[in-house]
């Protein structure tokens, strides 16, 4: 990954390679500004004395993961500098709000039985989004602004509108020809590919042509709703014919899995559709040039350039791309972990308190979420550990490393590398 570089006043310069960053640190020309992502600050240079190239941040928004790519733009195409997978926590926010609503409802029914009902006196501003959806917009914009602080970004690109391969191949197409051409059913097919993992639902075969198949056959009264559609390879589709899925699939576990996945709601698609315009408006407020491109163009670029499908690599292929260089880079996973909770009790399954949490966030100078290095000199857990810490009032901490969780590390062996910022990092 490219290393972000700041001048001695904290203004962004062009990123450099890891080898060059090591030389700058070894010669005393730079200091470590941040560990993850790695940022160095030069001690002998100002922004006025530096040359700049065109950098662009590209986004591929998703309901669970948003792909982010920092690329350098040149005449022949783009060169990838950094790749990020931003993992959202919208589901956890929704569940936490549901639990809070239940707690408040119980307290009010028990203690405020005679209070006048207040249901319709809440107003919402125009463009209001649910907290779990607003979280996706806010965290994405937070990382766009971070990248703008660490690198001289001059433009932004975002995947916005729906797949439209036909308009790309024939821009002048319109009317009935457009409605019933190659675009017909394209979105449904792409959704089914994502929903069913790009494999046959009946034999798990991958890498073969897949056909759209009705779980309940049309001959038996099945509909064309997405919940009644799946993907099957040609041999399975021919063998099933008009049979009921319960007659065709003999494996009970596979049958349960197919029926459960078929009934899965369109929550992910709804989340993306609800937030895409809000994110586009927020990007335009940065006053940088914003490019909005279709998902069809992203897939077309990825297929033409033979780039595997991944969230961050999809972001690289957003917009007009002639060629891509240096895309085989490690991806930094940035997981939204939050900054703690106001809740002060743990509850049993029946809703009764089973323990009380600490009233302070810091223990011996450490806070949950800090990135630390622990060097244990002796004992069964002797060794060096680097990762995200979970503090305990006893001073015995847990450390989440890349190999797993290490429990029972004394605070005396720990040293802070980077303070908690609400995110967890891993490659």
Instruction: Show the beta-strand stretches assigned E in 35-136.
Output: 39-42, 55-60, 65-74, 77-87
How far apart are the C-alpha atoms of 44 and 233, rounded to whole Å?
Answer: 62
CATH number at 263 reads 1.10.30
For the question of whether the overall pTM of this predicted structure is more than 0.85, the answer is no
**Would residue 290 count as lying in a domain?**
yes
Claim to verify: residue 74 and residue 146 sit in the same structural domain: yes
Contact 297, 58 (CB under 8 A): no
Q: Rounded to the nearest 5°, which phi and psi values hold at 326? A: 55, 40
Claim to verify: residue 161 and residue 59 sit in the same structural domain: yes
The pLDDT score that the predictor gives to residue 168 is 43
With CA atoms as reference, report the closest residue to 292 among 156, 395, 158.
158
DSSP 120-162: S-----TT---HHHHHHHHHHHHHHHHHHHHS-EEEEEEEEE-
**Would residue 319 count as lying in a domain?**
yes
How far apart are the C-alpha atoms of 375 and 224, rounded to whole Å?
Answer: 60
With CA atoms as reference, report the closest residue to 211 among 182, 242, 243, 235.
235
Claim to verify: residue 397 and residue 374 sit in the same structural domain: yes
Claim to verify: residue 152 and residue 8 sit in the same structural domain: no
Q: Rounded to the nearest 5°, which phi and psi values hold at 69? A: -135, 135
Claim to verify: residue 192 and residue 235 sit in the same structural domain: yes
- Distance between first and last Cα of the chain: 11
CATH number at 312 reads 3.30.420.10
**Would residue 104 count as lying in a domain?**
no
**Would residue 122 count as lying in a domain?**
no
How far apart are the C-alpha atoms of 209 and 197, rounded to whole Å?
Answer: 13
Q: Rounded to the nearest 5°, which phi and psi values hold at 55? A: -115, 145
**Would residue 113 count as lying in a domain?**
no
β-sheet with 30-34: strand ranges across? 12-16, 3-6, 39-42, 30-34
**Distances from the Cα of 245 to the Cαs of 188, 195, 228, 251, in angstroms?**
21, 18, 11, 11
Claim to verify: residue 80 and residue 222 sit in the same structural domain: no
**Distances from the Cα of 391 to the Cαs of 21, 105, 282, 342, 365, in angstroms?**
33, 32, 36, 16, 10
Domain count along the chain: 4
Alpha carbons within 13 A on the beta-carbon side of 213: 27
Claim to verify: residue 243 and residue 392 sit in the same structural domain: no
**Would residue 279 count as lying in a domain?**
no
Residue span of the structural domain in which 301 resides: 55-89+130-165+285-336
Contact 330, 83 (CB under 8 A): yes
With CA atoms as reference, report the closest residue to 322 among 354, 297, 296.
297
Residue ranges in the chain modelled with pLDDT below 70: 117-119, 161-187, 265-266
**Would residue 23 count as lying in a domain?**
yes
**Would residue 311 count as lying in a domain?**
yes
Contact 364, 370 (CB under 8 A): no
With CA atoms as reference, report the closest residue to 297 among 314, 280, 275, 273.
314
Claim to verify: residue 236 and residue 365 sit in the same structural domain: no
How far apart are the C-alpha atoms of 158 and 61, rounded to whole Å?
Answer: 8
Claim to verify: residue 323 and residue 248 sit in the same structural domain: no
Claim to verify: residue 84 and residue 230 sit in the same structural domain: no
Claim to verify: residue 258 and residue 327 sit in the same structural domain: no
């Amino acid at each position: 990954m490219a290393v972000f570089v700041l001048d001695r006043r904290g203004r962004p310069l062009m990123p450099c390679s890891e080898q060059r960053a090591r030389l700058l640190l070894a010669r005393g020309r730079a200091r470590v500004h941040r560990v993850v992502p790695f940022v160095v600050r030069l001690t002998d240079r100002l922004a006025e004395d530096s040359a700049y190239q065109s950098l662009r941040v590209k986004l591929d928004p998703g309901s669970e993961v948003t792909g982010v790519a920092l690329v350098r733009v040149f005449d022949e195409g783009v060169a990838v500098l950094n790749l990020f997978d931003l993992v959202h926590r919208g589901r956890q926010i929704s569940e936490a709000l549901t639990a809070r609503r239940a707690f408040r409802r119980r307290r009010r029914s028990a203690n405020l039985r005679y209070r006048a009902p207040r249901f319709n006196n809440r107003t919402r501003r125009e463009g209001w989004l649910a907290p779990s959806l607003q979280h996706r917009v806010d965290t994405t914009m937070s990382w766009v602004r971070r990248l703008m602080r660490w690198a001289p970004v001059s433009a932004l690109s975002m995947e916005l509108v729906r797949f439209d391969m036909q308009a790309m191949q024939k821009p002048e197409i319109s009317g009935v020809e457009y409605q019933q051409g190659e675009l017909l059913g394209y979105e449904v097919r792409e959704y089914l590919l994502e929903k069913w993992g790009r494999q046959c639902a009946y034999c798990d075969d991958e890498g073969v042509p897949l056909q759209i198949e009705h779980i309940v056959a049309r001959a038996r009264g099945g509909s064309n709703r997405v919940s009644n559609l799946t993907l099957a390879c040609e041999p399975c589709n021919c063998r099933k014919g008009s049979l009921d899925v319960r007659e065709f699939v003999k494996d009970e576990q596979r049958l349960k899995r197919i029926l459960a996945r078929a009934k899965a709601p369109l929550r992910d698609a709804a989340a993306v559709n609800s937030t895409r315009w809000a994110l586009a408006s927020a990007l335009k407020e940065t006053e940088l040039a914003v490019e909005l491109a279709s998902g069809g163009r992203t897939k077309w670029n990825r297929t033409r350039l033979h780039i595997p499908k991944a969230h961050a690599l999809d972001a690289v292929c957003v917009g007009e791309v002639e060629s891509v260089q240096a895309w085989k880079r490690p991806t930094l996973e940035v997981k939204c972990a939050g900054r703690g909770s106001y809740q002060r009790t743990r509850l049993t399954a029946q809703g009764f308190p089973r323990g009380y949490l600490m009233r302070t966030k810091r223990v011996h100078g450490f806070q949950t979420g800090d990135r630390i290095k622990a060097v244990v000199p002796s004992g069964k857990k002797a060794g060096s550990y680097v990762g995200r810490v979970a503090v305990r009032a006893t001073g015995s901490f847990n450390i989440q490393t890349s190999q797993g969780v290490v429990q029972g590390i004394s605070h005396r062996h720990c040293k802070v590398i980077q303070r908690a910022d609400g995110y967890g990092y891993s490659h």
